[in-house]
Amino acid sequence: MKTIEALDIKLIALDMDGTVLNEEQEISLENRKAIKEAIDQGVHVVISTGRSLKTLQKYLDTLELSSYLVTVNGSEIWDDTGVLMERSIVQNDLIQWMWELSKLHETNFWAISTEQVWHNELPTDLSTSEWLKFGFHIDDDQVRETVKKQLVENGLLEISNSSPFNLEVNPLGINKAKGLEAVCKKLNLTMENVMAVGDSLNDIAMIREAGLGVAMGNAQDIVKETADDITASNVEDGVAKAIRKWVLKY
């Protein structure tokens, strides 16, 4: 059993949706203040998100954050100057197969390419883009489980979610923990130096592998069961509370 009180946290990895962001998709004043205080104390703050860089940029500007980034669940890793370090692609035939799967089960879907986010439509020629992630939004529990079973049986895909009603699909072995390991290597840190905070299945890998894994108060149950600690919800400044408890120590 690890002694989390004795950990030397030098990097804070933060999910965005359901974690840093509240229900209005905004960053609260308390979260912004705590993140800035951590940075001022020399702690690295790394956003680790399912979002693409383009849909993340306005929040980075709000936080005045210039740091390493793990985006699209680890399919892209960016250095602190905005240069792409690593990119992992979902093959076109798998995107085609998942698109057909969504049509078969009449689900909503989205897909992230290196250029844009597509919603419920894709280009006629998939080879004109490089694909990073495919997502299904499925309200019906039975349909969602059926689709998930087929994705798992494919054997070439990493399956998670960012809400109880969706499925997110990356290349096998690509997740937020893998991305953070690459960042730690660049910074001469280990995952023991990381506090990871999140709420969904796409956060489980980093919460499990970090020295300190923190689940949000609004997190899915399995995330709470995996975490070392549970903070307040995303509408109660849970990120700020976790930073103050474990990093700023007040």
Query: Which tokens is 245 given?
Result: 């408890």
Q: Which residues does the annotation mark as catalytic? A: 15
What HEC string does 114-141 produce? CCCEEECCCCCCHHHCCEEEEEEECCCH
Instruction: Note whether 192 and 199 are within 8 A (CB).
Output: no
How many angstroms separate the CA atoms of 165 and 36, rounded? 33
Intervals of the chain under pLDDT 50? 1
pLDDT at 217: 98
How many angstroms separate the CA atoms of 7 and 143, rounded? 43
Residues across the chain: 250
Token look-up 């069961």 returns 225
Query: Which tokens is 187 given?
Result: 């910074």
Domains and CATH numbers, the chain: 4-87+175-248 (3.40.50.1000), 92-171 (3.30.1240.10)
pLDDT at 2: 58
Query: Which tokens is 243 given?
Result: 């930073």
How many angstroms separate the CA atoms of 75 and 52, rounded? 9
How many angstroms separate the CA atoms of 181 and 210, rounded? 9
pLDDT at 240: 98
Angle between helices 53-63 and 29-40 (to 10 degrees): 80
Residue 16 CB neighbour total at 10 angstroms: 22
How many angstroms separate the CA atoms of 144 and 161, rounded? 11
Q: What is the DSSP string of 150-165?
A: HHHHHSSEEEE-SSTT
Token look-up 């059993």 returns 1
pLDDT at 7: 85
Query: Which tokens is 244 given?
Result: 């103050």
pLDDT at 250: 79
Compute the Cα dihedral for 18, 20, 24, 30 and give only its sign: positive
Residue 39 CB neighbour total at 10 angstroms: 17
Query: Which tokens is 33 given?
Result: 């203040």
